[in-house]
């Protein structure tokens, strides 16, 4: 049964329960205001009590095992009875840390739940509901080889709070940018209502509210402000899980504590990337940024970021086609459909080219690092541009025989040592003149792309960039997944810290109150230990392992013979056409 369809059955009473938090307690009230508890919650509480007692009993047994070998035979009975174990202290620690874990889970759930309130698409709602369910059922990863259980709770609380700061930062910025975009659209919209079809709902800036009944987890929004795109928040845990899987495959932790360490580092790296955003387009040359500056900022450009100007551009293209007699027997509706289809194709190609270019930048950075670790230089990434109009025929361009890549370490004469100071689009390796033809600053430039094979040229450019990105992806994956016989990096490697940010302390006896994070007064049921005060931890990298040079892939060698074959085919076709023109 889907969503609210469950309440449509005649046997089900449509209840609207109310939830609130006061003095660290979560209250549930029915529509009449009576405090209630769900039967399922009581069942979960009994299960939790049983599980915690089993964990506590295990560590009490471990404490007995340490003491048993040091006692004399006359004191064996005293030891066997666990008289020296302070059971109340163990239970107090267990409940204290469990309360801290639940509080951290609640704060993270509030952020996802507020995003859930904006989502309208059923599939996105189900995806976010699954994320919330997974967080609810998350539990510490106990390492039974440790002497006590506090370390497992510390690691889990740290991961939850890092996840919380990452999600809160991403969603708050998304709300702010969406609000600015919607307000700008309605400020620039025409006064009549004829051209407002399809626009997002206007935001009436009258009264700020908090969706959460207890405390705001995200930015306060206006009463009639909705952001359905927040349904994409379900992709954040999916991306983090994918990163964690890659890290597990690389580091191969053998214990629960090692897995928690890997997850903590992945979250800190993700948080560092978010807090210190780089501009990948700065890796490209200044001339390229000048030529396709609007391409790198497509949705913030003067023309392509404004739906009204895009619509006007489409109408201008339609009028130009009619005036120039391009209808060729087509009716007006067919020409209208073809014009706007071509305009949408151009927008899609631009967006995909931006995405491919930025992904290629990140992969190129990884490729250079891996090449350096394997003993190769970065010129293996580049291919010297060739102007086809002035190029000469290449001899022996068949597929090269297989060779050991390690032979290039001693003899690098077979490789062109061309290494530019900045990256360029992949199309520049084939036709460097195409880059300057991309301009989206004015309507006239867009019209020129629509009518002078601009869409076809953009398709070729995108295909070249996709090939470059895929080649980098294969090279990086092969270098990353190839392990030496000694195995991957150990799970208990030392953390590499920098002086970019300060680290927070960790103590088993005290915990910073959660109200410091949320900005509201919220006490826990019992005094709780301290988790890291500073969530903006320094960037940490896994211990670098020695890479095997046999796993290296030279992008230049993989592409050069294909480019030469294409060049020869072009020159042959050019010569054939010239001969036909000369013949009577």
Q: What is the pLDDT of residues 353-382, one digit of tens each?
A: 888 888 998 899 899 988 888 888 888 888
Q: Does the pLDDT at position 12 exceed 80? A: no
Task: Answer yes or no: is pLDDT of 214 > 80.
Answer: no
**Contact present, 240 and 221 (Cβ < 8 Å):** no
Q: How far apart are CA 438 and CA 449, in angstroms?
A: 8
High-pLDDT (> 90) share of the chain, %: 20
Q: State the Cα–Cα distance between residues 479 and 476, nearest whole angstrom.
A: 5
CA 303, 309, 314: angle at the middle one, nearest 5? 110
Confidence of residue 64 (pLDDT cuts 50, 70, 90): low
Burial of 248 (0-12, 13-18, 19+ CB in 10 A): middle
State both tokens at 311: 């619509």
Query: How distant, in Å, are the alpha carbons of 124, 160, 253, 256, 364 from that of 260?
Result: 29, 11, 9, 6, 30
Q: Which of 147-161, 182-196, 479-493 has the lowest mean pLDDT?
A: 479-493
The token pair that represents 116 in the structure block: 């859930």
* Non-local CB neighbours of 243 within 8 Å, separated by 6+ positions: 266, 270
In this structure, are residues 151 and 93 in contact, taking their beta carbons and an 8 Å threshold? Answer: no
Torsion of CA 515, 520, 521, 522, to 10 degrees: -60
Which of the 8 DSSP states describes residue 29? E
What is the average pLDDT across 531-558? 61
Highest mean pLDDT among 124-133, 481-490, 503-512, 552-561: 124-133
Question: What is the structure's pLDDT at 123?
Answer: 92
CA angle 92, 98, 101 (to 5 degrees): 145
35-60, pLDDT tens digit by residue? 889 899 899 999 999 999 998 888 88
Phi-psi label, residue 540: left if phi above 0, alpha if psi -120 to 50, beta otherwise = beta
Quickly count: other Cβ atoms within 10 Å of residue 103's Cβ.
Answer: 23
Mean pLDDT of 58-78: 59
* Per-residue pLDDT reduced to its tens digit, 255-312: 998 999 999 999 999 998 888 777 766 667 666 665 554 444 444 455 666 777 788 8
Residue 35 to residue 18: CA distance in whole angstroms: 9
Distance between terminal CA atoms of the chain? 78
Q: What is the pLDDT of residues 164-195, one digit of tens each?
A: 999 999 999 999 988 888 888 887 766 666 66
Q: What is the pLDDT of residues 227-251, one digit of tens each?
A: 888 899 999 999 999 999 988 887 8
Both tokens of residue 387? 């102007």
Mean pLDDT over all residues of the chain?
76
């Amino acid at each position: 049964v889907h969503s609210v369809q469950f309440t449509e059955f005649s046997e089900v009473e449509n209840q609207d329960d109310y939830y609130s938090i006061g003095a660290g307690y979560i209250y549930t009230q029915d529509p009449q205001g009576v405090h209630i508890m769900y039967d399922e919650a009581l069942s979960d509480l009994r299960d939790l009590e049983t599980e915690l007692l089993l964990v506590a009993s295990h560590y009490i047994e471990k404490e007995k095992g340490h003491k048993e070998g040091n006692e004399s035979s006359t004191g064996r009975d005293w030891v066997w009875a666990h008289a020296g174990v302070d059971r109340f202290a163990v239970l107090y620690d267990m409940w204290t840390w469990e309360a801290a874990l639940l509080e951290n889970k609640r704060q993270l759930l509030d952020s996802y739940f507020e995003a859930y309130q904006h989502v309208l698409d059923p599939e996105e709602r189900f995806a976010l509901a699954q994320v919330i369910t997974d967080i609810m059922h998350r539990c510490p990863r106990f390492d039974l080889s440790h002497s006590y259980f506090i370390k497992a709770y510390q690691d889990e609380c740290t991961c939850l709070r890092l996840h919380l700061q990452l999600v809160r930062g991403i969603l708050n910025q998304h709300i702010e940018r969406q609000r600015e975009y919607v307000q700008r659209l309605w400020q620039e919209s025409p006064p009549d209502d004829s051209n407002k079809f399809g626009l997002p709902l206007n935001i009436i800036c009258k009264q700020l509210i908090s969706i959460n009944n207890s405390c705001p987890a995200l930015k306060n929004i206006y009463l009639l402000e909705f952001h359905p795109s927040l349904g994409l928040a379900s992709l954040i845990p999916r991306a983090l899980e994918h990163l964690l899987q890659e890290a597990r495959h690389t580091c191969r932790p053998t214990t629960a504590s090692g897995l928690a360490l890997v997850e903590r580092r992945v979250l800190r790296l993700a948080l560092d990337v978010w807090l210190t955003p780089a501009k990948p387009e700065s890796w490209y040359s200044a001339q390229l940024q000048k030529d396709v500056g609007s391409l790198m900022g497509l949705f913030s450009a003067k023309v392509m970021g404004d739906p009204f100007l895009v619509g006007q551009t489409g109408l201008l293209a339609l009028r130009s086609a009619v005036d120039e007699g391009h209808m060729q027997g087509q009716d007006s509706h067919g020409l209208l459909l073809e014009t706007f289809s071509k305009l949408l194709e151009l927008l899609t190609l631009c967006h995909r080219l931006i995405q491919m270019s930025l992904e290629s930048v990140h992969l190129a950075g990884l490729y250079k690092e891996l090449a350096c670790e394997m003993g190769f230089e970065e010129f293996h990434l580049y291919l010297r541009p060739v102007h086809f109009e002035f190029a000469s025929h290449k001899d022996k361009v068949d597929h090269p025989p297989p060779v050991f890549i390690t032979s290039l370490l001693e003899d690098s004469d077979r490789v062109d040592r061309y290494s530019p100071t900045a990256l360029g689009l992949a199309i520049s390796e084939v036709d460097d003149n195409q880059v300057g033809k991309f301009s989206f600053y004015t309507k006239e430039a867009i019209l020129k792309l629509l009518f002078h094979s601009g869409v076809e040229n953009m398709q070729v450019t995108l295909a070249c960039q996709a090939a470059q990105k895929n080649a980098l992806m294969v090279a990086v994956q092969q270098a990353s997944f190839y392990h030496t016989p000694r195995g991957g990096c150990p799970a208990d490697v030392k953390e590499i810290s920098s002086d970019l940010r300060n680290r927070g302390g960790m103590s088993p006896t005290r915990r910073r109150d959660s109200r410091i994070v949320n900005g509201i007064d919220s006490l826990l049921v019992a005094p709780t230990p301290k988790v890291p005060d500073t969530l903006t931890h320094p960037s940490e990298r896994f211990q670098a392992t020695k890479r095997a040079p046999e796993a290296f892939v030279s992008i230049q060698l993989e592409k050069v013979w294909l480019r030469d074959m294409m060049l020869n085919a072009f020159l042959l076709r050019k010569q054939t056409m010239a001969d036909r023109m000369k013949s009577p």
